[in-house]
C-alpha cells in the first residue's frame, strides 16, 4: 500500500531549450517590470550585460559582486543599490552565488526574480536561502525566496568549464539523492529524482568528452532542473547539513564540497534505505554509494576535502556542528560515525556503508 503523502507543485514558470535567452524581453514584459537590477559575479559580468542588453532602459543597474555562500555584507551592499535605484525586479545571470544573492534580496524586499542559470546548481528552483555571516552559514525556507521565472538556455552552458560542469552536476545529483529518502517525500518527487539523476549520469560523461556537445549539455541541464525541483520540494538530510556546515565554517567551494561528500553521506544512510535506491542501480551498480564515488572519480571530480582546503584539525569541529540542531535523517546521527565519515572524505578513502 502506498504511504500517505502530500504534494504542492511549485508555482515558478520555466522556459527550457536552446536560444531561450531571446525570450527574456517577453518574460519581463509579462511580469510588467520596468526597473530591473542585473546581478552577476565579476567573472560573468560581461556575459550578463550582453544577455540583458535586449532589455535596454529596463535594466537600471548592475551589481557584479555576487559571492560564494551569499555573505550578508555583500547582500547589504546590493540592497543599497536596490533602494537607491527604486528597483522593481531582479535579473540574475549565473550560478549558485548569483542566484543566492537574488534570493537574499527577494526575502528582504519581496521583489520578483527572473533567473538565467549558467550552471547545474538547481538553486533557481527552490525556496531555500543559505546565508553566511561571520563564518556561520544559516539556512531558511520561504516561498518569497523562490524565483518567479527561470529561463534555461542550453547555449549558456556550452562554455561552462568541464571541471565546474562536473562539480555542479554532482551537486545537482545530491539534491535528488536526498529527496529519495526525505521524510516528507512523495512518489512524484521520487520520479523526478530518478529521472534527473539518470539524465545527469548520461550527460556528464559526454561533457567530459566534448565540452560543447549540445546533446550532453541538454541532458545535463534537464537533469539539473529536475534535481533542483527535488531540492525545492522536500527536506534534505545529513548530506546537505554537512555541506552547509563545512562550506560556511571553512569557506570551501560549494559544488565541489557536495561532490566530495555525497558518496560518504549516502553510505552513512544506505543500510537503512531498503529498496529506495533501486532506481539508481542501473547507473551506479548494486552499491550505489560506492558506485557514485567511482563515477565521480571517472569524471575527474575532486574526491578529498583536503584538496578543497579543509584542515584536518577541523574534522572534530565539523562533526559537532553537524549535530548542533536536530533534523530528520534515515539513520540516527552519531557523532563518532559522522566524524569517521568526514575523516574518510577528508582523506579521499572510498565510502563505507554500515554493515
- The whole-number pLDDT of residue 137 equals 83
Residue 143 clears pLDDT 80, i.e. is over it: yes
Q: Does the structure show a pLDDT above 60 at 308? A: yes
What's the average model confidence in pLDDT over 23-46?
Answer: 97
Domain 162-347: which CATH number of 1.20.1090.10, 1.10.10.10, 1.20.120.1730, 3.40.50.300: 1.20.1090.10
- For 13-157, CATH number out of 3.30.460.10, 2.60.40.1250, 3.40.50.1970, 3.50.50.60 equals 3.40.50.1970
> Smallest Cα–Cα separation from 177: which of 153, 156, 201?
201
- Which of 260, 162, 261, 254 has the alpha carbon at shortest distance from 204? 162
* Each residue's pLDDT tens digit, 170-227: 999 999 999 999 999 999 999 999 999 999 999 999 999 999 999 999 999 999 999 9
What percentage of residues in the chain have a pLDDT greater than 70?
99
Q: What is the pTM of this model?
A: 0.91
Rounded Cα distance between 70 and 263, Å, is 26
Residue closest to 258 by CA, chosen among 14, 95, 149: 95
Alpha-carbon span 27 to 113, nearest angstrom: 11
First to last CA, the chain: 28
Which tens digit of pLDDT belongs to each residue from 78-94? 999 999 999 999 999 99
What are the structural domain ranges in the chain? 13-157, 162-347
Return phi, psi of residue 126, to 5°: -120, 155
User: 125-145 burial, b if ≥16 CB within 10 A, otherwise e?
Assistant: bbbbbbbbeeeebeeeeeeeb
> Which are the contacts of 265, defined by CB distance < 8 A and separation ≥ 6?
237, 238, 239, 242, 341
CB distance 208 to 103 below 8 Å? no
Give the residues across from 114 on adjacent strands.
91, 149
DSSP characters for 143-155? GGGS-SEEEEEGG
Amino acid at each position: 500500500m502506498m504511504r500517505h503523502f502530500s504534494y504542492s507543485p511549485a508555482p515558478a514558470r520555466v522556459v527550457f531549450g536552446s536560444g531561450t535567452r531571446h525570450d527574456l524581453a517577453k518574460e519581463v514584459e509579462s511580469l510588467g517590470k520596468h526597473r530591473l537590477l542585473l546581478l552577476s559575479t565579476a567573472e560573468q559580468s560581461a556575459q550578463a550585460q550582453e544577455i540583458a542588453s535586449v532589455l535596454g532602459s529596463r535594466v537600471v543597474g548592475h551589481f557584479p559582486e555576487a559571492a560564494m555562500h551569499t555573505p550578508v555584507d555583500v547582500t547589504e551592499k546590493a540592497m543599497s543599490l536596490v533602494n537607491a535605484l527604486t528597483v522593481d525586479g531582479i535579473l540574475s545571470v549565473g550560478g549558485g552565488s548569483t542566484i543566492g544573492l537574488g534570493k537574499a534580496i527577494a526575502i528582504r524586499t519581496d521583489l520578483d526574480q527572473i533567473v538565467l542559470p549558467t550552471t547545474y546548481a538547481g538553486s533557481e528552483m527552490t525556496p531555500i536561502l543559505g546565508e553566511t555571516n561571520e563564518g556561520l552559514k544559516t539556512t531558511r525556507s520561504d516561498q518569497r525566496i523562490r524565483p518567479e521565472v527561470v529561463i534555461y538556455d542550453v547555449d549558456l552552458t556550452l562554455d561552462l568549464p568541464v571541471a565546474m560542469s562536473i562539480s555542479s552536476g554532482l551537486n545537482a545529483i545530491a539534491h535528488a539523492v536526498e529527496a529519495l529518502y526525505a521524510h516528507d517525500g512523495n512518489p512524484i518527487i521520487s520520479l523526478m529524482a530518478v529521472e534527473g539523476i539518470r539524465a545527469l549520469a548520461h550527460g556528464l560523461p559526454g561533457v567530459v568528452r566534448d565540452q560543447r556537445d549540445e546533446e550532453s549539455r541538454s541532458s545535463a541541464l534537464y537533469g539539473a532542473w529536475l534535481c533542483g525541483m527535488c531540492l525545492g520540494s522536500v527536506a534534505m538530510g545529513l548530506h546537505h547539513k554537512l555541506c552547509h556546515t563545512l562550506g560556511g565554517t571553512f569557506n570551501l567551494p560549494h559544488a565541489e564540497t557536495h561532490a566530495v561528500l555525497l558518496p560518504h553521506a549516502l553510505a552513512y544512510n544506505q543500510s537503512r534505505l531498503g529498496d529506495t535506491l533501486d532506481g539508481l542501480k542501473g547507473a551506479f551498480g548494486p552499491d550505489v554509494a560506492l558506485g557514485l564515488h567511482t563515477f565521480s572519480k571517472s569524471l575527474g571530480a575532486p574526491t578529498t576535502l583536503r584538496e578543497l582546503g579543509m584542515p584536518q584539525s577541523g574534522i572534530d569541529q565539523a562533526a559537532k556542528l553537524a549535530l548542533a540542531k536536530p533534523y530528520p535523517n534515515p539513520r540516527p546521527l552519531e557523532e563518532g560515525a559522522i566524524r569517521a565519515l568526514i575523516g574518510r572524505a577528508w582523506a579521499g578513502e572510498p565510502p563505507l556503508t554500515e554493515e
